[in-house]
Amino acid sequence: MSVNPRKRKAVAKEAPPPPESESENELGDGLLEGILSHSDDDSEGSEEEDEEDEEEGDDTDASSIIEGLSDEDEDEDEDEHDEHDIREQMRNLKTSDAPPKRKPGQQTHDMDLDAADSSELDAADDGDDEHLKPNYTVHTDANGNTRYMYQEIDPVYESDDSDAEQTNTIGNIDLKYYDEYPHIGYDINGKKIMRPAKGEALDALLDSIDIPKGWTGLTDPTTGKPLNLTEEELSVLKKVTRNEVIEEGYDPYPDMIAYFSGVDQEIMPLSAAPEPKRRFIPSKHEAKRVMKIVKAIREGRIAPYKPPEDDEEQDQFTFDVWADEKPRDANSMHIAAPKLPPPGYEASYHPPPEYLPDQAEQDAWLEQDEEDREREFLPKNYEALRKVPGYETFVKERFERSLDLYLAPRVRRNRLNIDPESLLPKLPDPEDLKPFPTTCAAIFRGQEGRVRSVSVDPLGIFVASGGDDGYVRIWEILTGRQVWNARLSSEEAVDAVSWRPVKEASILAAAAGEHVYLIIPFALLSPDVEQHSRDILDAGWGYASSKSQTTPAPEDAPKTPPGVWSRPERKLENKGVLIQIEVRSAIKTLSWHRRGDYFTTVSPRGQSSSVAIHTISKHLTQLPFRRLKGIAQTAQFHPSKAIFFVATRNTIRSYDLAKQELVKILQPGAKWISSIDVHPGGDNLLVGTYDKRLLWHDLDLSTKPYKTLRFHSAAIRAVAYHKGGYPLFADASDDGSLQIFHGKVVGDLMENATIVPLKVLRGHKVKQRLGVMGVEWHPREPWCVSAGADGTVRLWN
Amino acid sequence: MDSTAAETKVQIRLSTRDPGLQIAEEPTVLLVQTSLSRHQLSTLVNDLLHRETRIPFDILINGQFLRTSIEEFLTKNGINAETTLDVEYTRALVPPLNVTSFEHDDWVSAVDVLSQSSPAGRWSGGNVQGGQERILSASYDGLVRVWNTSGDVLATSEAPNNGGRITSLKTAKWISDKKFVAAGLDNTVRVYKYDDDVRTITTSLELFNHRWAVEDVAVHAPSNRILSASSDSTISLFSSNAKENPAAPANLLPNSTAASNKRQKLSKPDRTVPARGALATFTGHAAPVSSVIFKPDDATVAYSASHDHTLKTWDFPTQSCVDTRTTGHALLSLCAIPSRNLLATGTSARHITLVDPRVSATQISVMTLRGHKNGVVSLATDPNSEYNIVSGSHDGTCQIWDLRNVTTGGQVGEGMTGESVYTINRQGVSGPAKSHGEGVKVFGVCWDKEVGIVSAGEDKKVQINRALDL
């Protein structure tokens, strides 16, 4: 089917007269063939020569490979030929081109099944041979390509092909045009050549034919019968054709047994002869060969190995960052890598058993965080080094190391092992700050209703209390024995009591409603103390009377005096209540000047007359403030200077009494100040507020609180500094508790006050949401006295 | 270990400090089982003593009373059972049981006992018969009462005429069987005469020197000396003999001022009582003096304890302060332990400090006895034993302390610390004492050989506790 195109091509190739260039090509072929035969001769001739001529025989070897590829028949044909003969032949080939050409042609025919083709080809070749010139002319077609114009075939006799076998005569028509037809062309007689069976049809045919077993299609020449072969014979034949050994079970490639190498195999040496000398003498033959190579190298015939030039490296540009790097000195930031300790026994692959962790230790190790592990590996036991597996965290470790190098500077890692407690500012342990009150030492019962105020006398023997029942009571401090009482008012509660802070005399001031009472509880006093106290109080009568005599004007004035000093009713006077001062509105707090000549009262509703300063020696009441901003809550004298503190609801103002000017305005930031107390040093102020805060003001520091203590759950009603040398202060709150603080003030300005909460004193009951109403310190001891809304006064020590 | 405990034995060396109870037999080293308890050891000692009457013994090992078995003691204290234990046996403190209580009208501030063995009984030269013990009680109502041991009031003093002043008494002491002294908030020390036959009390002398309440008095009959400690931080030395005292300071007399004189006249005194001043006034304390005592063997030396944290030694001939010991707390009471040359002082910080008053002593506090919950206001020694003291406290208990029952350690500067061996609650009160001791505060305690432990308190009672089988 594909015969014709091939034929055409072959013709096209062979038809043109061999130009010089082509002859070169041919020559090449011829040369190859010649060498091929020559080499074959050599190989057959002598092995030794072959070895010797190896260098020269390089080409031959190459051709011999080609030879293997070429046809065997040809080889056989040419075997006998001499090299020269072949060269001759080559020359003939150049001119005639016939014999060699034919052979390949035949080859083609052999491959094709069609016989007719070969004859046709022969005829064409013959024609070519005859003319020895091309039967075509070369033109240039429209596209500029070469075009072969074939000559008209002259139908001479020789060209008659009547005797030719039946061939397909469709001419120069591609067979594909017959694809749709059952035939593939026409014979010489114009009959259709039917398409030969193929594919499925052929298979069906083959299947239909029953081929007997062992059928060969051959005829036994001896019997003339069809030759049938058995399976055995067929397999033998197959093996013969494959060049295999026919014998059954023969293993052509048995495992090599090195009989002469091992001790096991070679029980006895084959020869007892000693090792021949030649084994120790350098081989002459080898020397000869080496010399040959050396000579060749010297002459340049063999170039020594030259490494291939790596052009790639030159092409690839790499930037060396560290090219200009200069070695630097180790500076302070340089941290040398820590020197690792040598590995111990536990690091061994086969550690002594005592280094092996037991199960519990293993579990503990596995449970720990990686950072916390003491060792980063778990000692394991392997019987032999070869049983040690690969390092399992190798990749991970490398990766992390790379990360470290990439991201992390090499710093010494300090694990933060900080106890959160240690971050708090260092406060002294309360144990070290003893003594301070810790327990309730006495309960003073007897008061009806709330106790609103307490005061400890300057000697520290008695406690005075005032409360809702209008009584002022005096108690023995240690035993809680009530030793004196007087009812100042039947309607009004006693809101404030305060002892005059001078030891020589014993005067108690108490405020109930709009009245202030000055009391000398003479039942408790020795006659001379009583007399001394009386003298102090009585001194003012004369002054007041003389003043009123000399200057009657104020009495005439429409204004009533801010305070009216008078003797109370007889019943009270017999009890020791000697002076009664009436002010304009109800008094809530009362506070003495340190020398005991003045005391101040604050009546929050009094507006302009809310703050009054009373002078005992003159029986005089003065209103220092014509108008006060805000509602006054409490007032106090400075313990050493002529400074007066007035607390309104939100602010505390300090006034210089001598210069009569405002010194400072403190802004505690509180919503409603309940009480203040000035530190005995005079530079600090304690503020208690109804909004549950206790504020410490350092007067030198700022107008804002130095410390805010918010420990109470209810309003703070009273605050008090210890005035007898202990660095203590206390507050009393409506949550029924007192809190004791250590508040140490250092003289120099460099250090701020130390404030340490010490103790919460519980015991007072909360009644109607009122807890502890007042607190006061003992003048010497770290004891404090509190007034409770539950009607008790308690001593804490 | 428990199974073998019964087999474990330990060597003990028995000893005692009581010469009458020495074991005659040698050797005194015994091998006893560790399972023995105090009772068994006591029986063992009794067996060794071969006495007809059996005495209960307390067992002291290394300064601690054995309360459990030896084994538990060893375990608790970590003592090796192989060592030889020094075991001291001593007459057991028989729990002083509540015998009786004497009801008063008001708080009882102080008690004192007159008996054969009491100091006043000794000073009175055997005038006091056995069974004729008298108990003196001073009350906040200003009256002094004399009781017999059956609880009968033999005599009550009259209310003093002090011009409407408070009369509450704080202290009272027998001088002799016919005299006692009492003082209180009215700043006056009064010497009373007591006639046991007609059972009357008459005020024989009023001593004025104090401007504030008298907290404590001490008496020494042989020299007729009375010491009084006052809240005005002074100590006064009086004589119980009116003639020895100088005239009273005029400014302290009730009729010294116009106002008080007026009151005085209104109260219409029946009869006048001689008023005298002080032989000497000792100033030096900075705060109220809470307690004063004579030195047991030398009546010219006195010790005083004050709220100003100091313990001062006074010398009468030179009228000066010889020595001052400063402690950390306000001192509320004082008593001398003559056998050991120690002073026991009760503090407001709820413990008792034992102070060596000798000048040579280097340590301020020899021993600290802890256990009270409030200020210790009264102290007395055991007349039977030189090791025991009793303390009365505002927490409402009296506690008995054994000075042998101490452990070293405790805080720096406190010396050894001890625990009480027995606690006497007020009658009708049980359970743990409350710190404030409301209603049951003990104000005074006295330990007499015949009567027992007599204590007075806020519950208006004088309570007598006695070990019945002694």
Q: Which of B262, B289, B310, B374 to mutate to test the interface with A (most CBs of A within 10 A)?
A: B374
> With an 8 Å Cβ cutoff, are B165 and A523 in contact?
yes
| ipTM of the shown complex | 0.88
Residues B170, B106: Cα–Cα separation, whole Å: 12
DSSP 8-state secondary structure symbol assigned to residue B374? S
Q: Which of B189, B207, B210, B212 to mutate to test the interface with A (most CBs of A within 10 A)?
A: B212
**Contact by Cβ (8 Å): B283, B234:** yes
Number of domains in chain B: 2
> Do residues B56 and B104 both lie within one domain?
no
User: Which range has the worst mean pLDDT, A74-88, A588-602, B74-88?
Assistant: A74-88
Give the B window 53-112 contacts with A, CB below 8 Å.
107
Which of B140, B211, B213 minimises the CB distance to A528? B211
pLDDT higher than 60, residue A229: yes
**Contact by Cβ (8 Å): A488, A577:** yes
> Do residues B195 and B319 both lie within one domain?
yes
> Do residues B159 and B187 both lie within one domain?
yes
Cβ-based contacts under 8 A for chains A and B: 110
Percent of chain A with pLDDT over 70: 75
The pLDDT score that the predictor gives to residue A729 is 92
Mean of pLDDT over chain B: 84
The pLDDT score that the predictor gives to residue A731 is 92
Residue A219, both tokens? 């005829």
Q: Provide, as residue numbers in chain B, all residues whose Cβ is less than 8 Å from the Cβ of A459.
A: 212, 231-232, 288
A112 touches chain B (CB under 8 A): no
Mean pLDDT, range A172-184, rounded to an integer: 82
The pLDDT score that the predictor gives to residue A720 is 93
Which of the two residues, A54 and B139, has the higher pLDDT score? B139
Digit-coded pLDDT (tens) for A375-417 = 888 899 999 999 999 888 899 889 888 888 887 665 566 677 7
Residue in chain A closest to B230 (alpha carbons) equals A461
Helix (H, G, I), strand (E, B) or coil at B191: strand
Last residue of a domain, one of B60, B75, B91: B91
A159 touches chain B (CB under 8 A): no
The pLDDT score that the predictor gives to residue A117 is 44
Give the C-alpha distances (Å, rounded to integers) separating A565 from A84, A493, A581.
167, 20, 4
The pLDDT score that the predictor gives to residue A412 is 61
B436 touches chain A (CB under 8 A): yes
> Do residues B55 and B196 both lie within one domain?
no
> With an 8 Å Cβ cutoff, are A797 and B348 in contact?
yes
| Burial A5-23, CB ≥16 within 10 A → b, else e | eebeebbeebbeeeeeeeb
> Do residues B368 and B313 both lie within one domain?
yes
- What contacts A789, CB < 8 A, 6 or more positions away? A450, A451, A734, A764, A765, A766, A767, A768, A770, A771, A772, A773
Digit-coded pLDDT (tens) for B17-34 = 777 777 776 666 788 888
| Burial A742-779, CB ≥16 within 10 A → b, else e | bbebeeeeeebbbbbebbebebbebeeebbbbbbbbbb
Last residue of a domain, one of B61, B91, B121: B91
Give the C-alpha distances (Å, rounded to integers) separating A52 from A47, A49, A290, A293.
9, 5, 12, 12
Digit-coded pLDDT (tens) for A738-791 = 999 998 888 776 777 888 899 999 989 998 889 999 999 999 889 999 999 999
> Do residues B61 and B123 both lie within one domain?
no
**Contact by Cβ (8 Å): A173, A152:** no
pLDDT higher than 70, residue A310: no
Helices (H), B268-426: none
> With an 8 Å Cβ cutoff, are B256 and A527 in contact?
yes
User: CA torsion, points A408, A413, A417, A420, in degrees to nearest 10?
Assistant: -50
pLDDT higher than 60, residue A423: yes
Which of B185, B348, B375 minimises the CB distance to A483? B185
**Contact by Cβ (8 Å): B458, B437:** yes
* Residues forming beta bridges with residue B305, ordered by sequence position: B291, B311
Digit-coded pLDDT (tens) for B141-164 = 889 999 988 888 888 988 877 777
Residue in chain B closest to A783 (alpha carbons) equals B348
User: Which range has the worst mean pLDDT, A274-283, A308-317, B178-187, B273-282?
Assistant: A308-317
Which of the two residues, B112 and A186, has the higher pLDDT score? B112
Which of B166, B260, B330 minimises the CB distance to A524? B166
CATH number at residue B276: 2.130.10.10
The pLDDT score that the predictor gives to residue B265 is 66
Digit-coded pLDDT (tens) for B222-252 = 888 999 999 989 999 999 888 888 888 888 8
Mean pLDDT, range B75-80, rounded to an integer: 80
> Do residues B326 and B184 both lie within one domain?
yes
First vs last C-alpha separation in chain B? 41
> Do residues B71 and B108 both lie within one domain?
no
Tell me the pairing of strands A598-602 and A589-592.
antiparallel
Residue A579, both tokens? 């002076």
Q: Provide the domain limits for residue B7.
A: 3-91
> With an 8 Å Cβ cutoff, are A781 and B348 in contact?
yes
Last residue of a domain, one of B68, B91, B114: B91
**Contact by Cβ (8 Å): A346, A365:** no
> Do residues B84 and B107 both lie within one domain?
no
Mean pLDDT, range B60-74, rounded to an integer: 80
B231 touches chain A (CB under 8 A): yes
Helix (H) or strand (E) segment spanning residue A761: strand A754-762
CATH number at residue B74: 3.10.20.90
The pLDDT score that the predictor gives to residue A126 is 46
> Do residues B358 and B298 both lie within one domain?
yes
> Do residues B389 and B406 both lie within one domain?
yes
**Contact by Cβ (8 Å): A357, A346:** no
Residue with tokens 């530190």: A679
B251 touches chain A (CB under 8 A): yes
Digit-coded pLDDT (tens) for A484-533 = 889 888 888 999 999 999 888 889 999 998 899 999 988 888 888 888 88
B331 by Cβ neighbours in 10 Å (0-12 / 13-18 / 19+) ranks as buried
DSSP 8-state secondary structure symbol assigned to residue B84? P
> With an 8 Å Cβ cutoff, are A523 and B166 in contact?
yes
**CB pairs under 8 A, 24+ apart, for A384-391?**
A384/A350, A385/A349, A385/A350, A388/A349
Give the C-alpha distances (Å, rounded to integers) separating A418 from A125, A219, A368, A424.
108, 109, 19, 11
> Do residues B117 and B30 both lie within one domain?
no
Question: Is the peptide bond preceding residue B274 cis, with omega within 30 degrees of 0?
Answer: no
The pLDDT score that the predictor gives to residue A202 is 76
Digit-coded pLDDT (tens) for A582-624 = 888 899 999 999 888 899 999 888 877 888 999 988 888 888 8
A765 touches chain B (CB under 8 A): no
Helix (H) or strand (E) segment spanning residue A44: helix A20-45
Helix (H) or strand (E) segment spanning residue A602: strand A598-602
Residues A772, A453: Cα–Cα separation, whole Å: 10
